[in-house]
Structure 1
Amino acid sequence: MRTDLCGVELKNPVIAASGTFGFGQEFAPFFDVGRLGGISSKGLTMGGKYGNEGQRICETPSGVINSIGLQNPGVEAFLRDDLPFMRRCGAAVIANLGGSDLQGYLDGAALLSEADIDILELNISCPNVKAGGMAFGIQCQSAHQVVSAVRKVCKKPLMVKLSPNAENIVEMARACEDAGADALSLVNTFQAMAIDVERRQPVFANLFAGLSGPAIRPIALRMVYQVCGAVKIPVVGLGGIASASDALEFLLAGATAVQVGTANFVKPDICLDIIDGIDRYLERHGFAAVSEIRGLARTDR
């Protein structure tokens, strides 16, 4: 089950996705979070953010729409208060970094590069903040600019999180690879909307928000398949994974590892079910290592 992700050894290919797992402390009473391959932190910004006003969560068939707005304590508070636990727990530490402008990304990346993290996940794809985030992840030119700049100050392996709302997901992936990304993670949430029919008003103050959960999995899988065939760097697949079978689809499509997000809200220890399910699959089919199944479903092998 051991997995190499751009030079970092994970115990297994299952990572708790950013924004759904906090910094791990909230889930520690339910199970040994050290069994995870990695934990991607809550999305961080240089200065702390309160997040969006109004309603932030709306359930929808087979999914959830969220408008959290990157609420977080800030990079410096994370380093002081949250990183020590993440480091002790035993899973690989992935720091997810967002920003509203280029300087914010650069300052955050510089600080995190000096810290005891394993991977920096650069979030250029958040769909529910008013500035930055997805704005950098829609057009290849702006994504290339921010990734290139961060690459110059980042001393850690750099994984870039892509938006499914990009103009062209394959060209976006290639642009980030060309700009110096060591790995890619995709997909983040899809831009969506909900309307309260009794109030006859949009549910969210920002109007649009991010759809996640099983509803997006087939589309996310298609995008991961496309990107794995277009780049040479590792790809981490995510989007609606809620079972070992779901995770195996992404691995067979070419992903090196997977991230599990919304399903953590339904069953806090779902990642353990997925880890154990992948392990049983490997044993049942006679594979000695999880890396042996990577990309086996591809038609371009």
Structure 2
Amino acid sequence: MITKHRLAVNLPGLNMKNPVMNSSGAVYFGLEDKGFGIEKTGALVTKTVTMTPRVGNPQPWIIETPSGILNSVGLANPGIEKVITDMLPAIHTKYGDDMPVMVSIAGETVQEYVALARLLTHSGLVTAIEVNLSCPNVDRGGMAFGVDAQTASEVIAALRQITHLPLYAKLSPNVTDIKPIVKALEVAGADGIVLINTVMGMSLDLKKRQARLARGIGGMSGKAIHPIAVRFVYEAAQTVSIPIIGVGGVTTVADALELMMAGASAVQVGGALTQHPDAMVNIIDAMPAALDKYEFADVQAVTDTFKK
């Protein structure tokens, strides 16, 4: 079977030559040549964008632990105006118009999400929007949008009213039960779900008696959270019929296929790129042999094949 057809995945707004893409923030905007091999992947996901530029949290904002990476970058980005006028045209120049581009957005109010989505829609430079719902909602006392079904669905419903672009809701694992949240998002008009965002964690310096991150608590990524991601993807896949993109601790082709077997249609790679910039390319290259090994005709046949 021809490999390129065997690896192809077609999702709303994401017609991909293979099911592998970067996670938001892992490659910034993909414009620096750092050996990630983005041109060989199925899609490009941008750094999360906000209405105004953000410099992020105080340093240090990224540290390594024995279990993975903790970060509290704080959504540092150049703001939506510069992204539309500079970053997105540069992405199209670098990778061509056939590269699916999904822009991650975050707001502190529903109105901010709507304003961001409206600008991106009018730009004509985006094929899908990833809605980062792990951000604090200032109208609800700082509670993250994505930890409550009603609050999360309000964002998606408002966006569905003003954009034709496919909407992928990225959710936090820091909840008791993901099932009512993903179901509410499906009803509200989400085209897909992205699971999982980072797991909240903390690391202390015993000698200094203080937190190693300047902000104290940060988001955990890396190999340690992979089983958590598999669980969340599986539970979501049993609840909704819209596509799921799995992310969390993907470092090998086996990790990718495991998330797909649990119910994901595609995967994102993030933390692995800090130590192995060519991780995405290695996973893509290894996929045909892995499909043969586990007797799958193509990658689409892997999705949701877990047998209880």
Q: Identify the TM-score tier after normalising by the shorter chain.
A: over 0.9
AA aligned opposite 1:233: I
Alignment correspondent of 1:154: 163
The Cα of 1:54 is off from its aligned counterpart by 2.9
What secondary structure, in the 3-state scheme, does the structure 2 residue paired with 1:24 have?
Answer: coil
Which of 72, 85, 91 is the equivalent residue of 1:67? 72
SS in 1 for 2:101: strand
Measured in 1, the distance between the counterparts of 2:37 and 2:27 equals 13
CA distance in 1, matches of 2:203, 2:288: 39
Cα distance, 1:284 vs structure 2: 4.1
**Residues 119-165 of structure 1, C-alpha deviations (whole Å, 9 max, x = no match):** 100000258x9x99971011111111111112212220000001101
- Among 8, 21, 24, which residue is 1:15 paired with? 21
Given candidates 220, 225, 230, the residue that maps to 2:234 is 225
Root-mean-square deviation over aligned CA pairs: 1.9
Q: Which residue of 2 aligns with 1:39?
A: 44
Q: Is the 8 A contact 1:255 1:295 kept in 2?
A: yes
Letter of the 2:73 counterpart: I
Structure 1 CA distance, aligned partners of 2:192 and 2:28? Answer: 22
State the AA in 1 paired with 2:24.
S
Question: For this pair of structures, how many residues does the alignment match?
Answer: 296
CA deviation vs aligned residue, 1:64-121 (integer Å, no higher than 9, x gap): 0001000000111111111123224143101000112222111101001122111100
Cα distance in structure 2, aligned partners of 1:268 and 1:132: 39
2:248 aligned partner = 239
Whether the 8 Å CA contact 2:37–2:281 is kept in 1: the answer is no
The correspondence for 1:106, drawn from 98, 102, 114, is 114
Task: State whether residues 156 and 189 of structure 2, in contact with CA within 8 Å, keep that contact through their aligned partners in structure 1.
Answer: yes
Amino acid of the structure 1 residue aligned with 2:29: F
In structure 2, stretches of 5+ residues that fail to align are: 1-6
Give the letter for the 1:40 counterpart.
V
How far apart are the structure 2 equivalents of 1:70 and 1:98? 8
What amino acid sits opposite 1:292 in the alignment?
A: A
How many angstroms apart in 1 are the aligned matches of 2:288 and 2:119? 37
Partner deviation per Cα, 1:210-245 (whole Å, 9 max, x = no partner): 001001000111110110111010000000111101
Q: Distance in 2 between matches of 1:29 and 1:287?
A: 33
Equivalent position SS for 2:111: helix
Residues in 2 aligned to 1:29 and 1:201: alpha-carbon distance in whole angstroms: 33
1:272 aligns with 281
1:4 equivalenced with 2:10 (yes/no): yes
**Post-superposition offset of 1:204:** 2.9
Distance 2:79 2:176 in 1: 30
1:155 aligned counterpart, secondary structure:
coil
Contact kept? 1:99, 1:133, Cα under 8 Å: no
* Greater shift in the superposed pair: 277-286 or 211-220: 277-286
CA distance in 1, matches of 2:141, 2:224: 26
Distance (Å, rounded) in 2 between the aligned partners of 1:134 and 1:273: 38
Q: Secondary structure at the match of 1:172?
A: helix
Q: What is the aligned counterpart of 2:265 among 227, 246, 256?
A: 256
User: Matches of 1:235 and 1:118 in 2, distance apart?
Assistant: 17
AA at the equivalent of 1:227: A
Query: 2:276, 2:40 → 1: CA distance?
Result: 16
* Conserved? CA contact 1:252–1:298, under 8 Å: no
| 1:166–1:172 contact (8 Å) kept in structure 2 | no
Distance 1:85 1:286, change over 3 A: farther
Stretches of structure 1 that go unaligned for 5 or more consecutive residues are none
Helix, strand or coil for the counterpart of 1:18? coil
Distance of 1:29 and 1:124 partners within structure 2? 29
CA apart distance, 1:260: 0.3
Contact 1:57 1:68 in 2 (8 A): yes
Percent of aligned pairs sharing the same letter: 41
The corresponding residue for 1:92 is 100
Using the TM superposition, name which of 268-277 and 290-299 deviates more: 290-299
- Matched AA of 1:170: K
Corresponding letter in the other structure for 1:198 = K
Measure, in 1, the Cα distance between the counterparts of 2:294 and 2:149.
Answer: 40
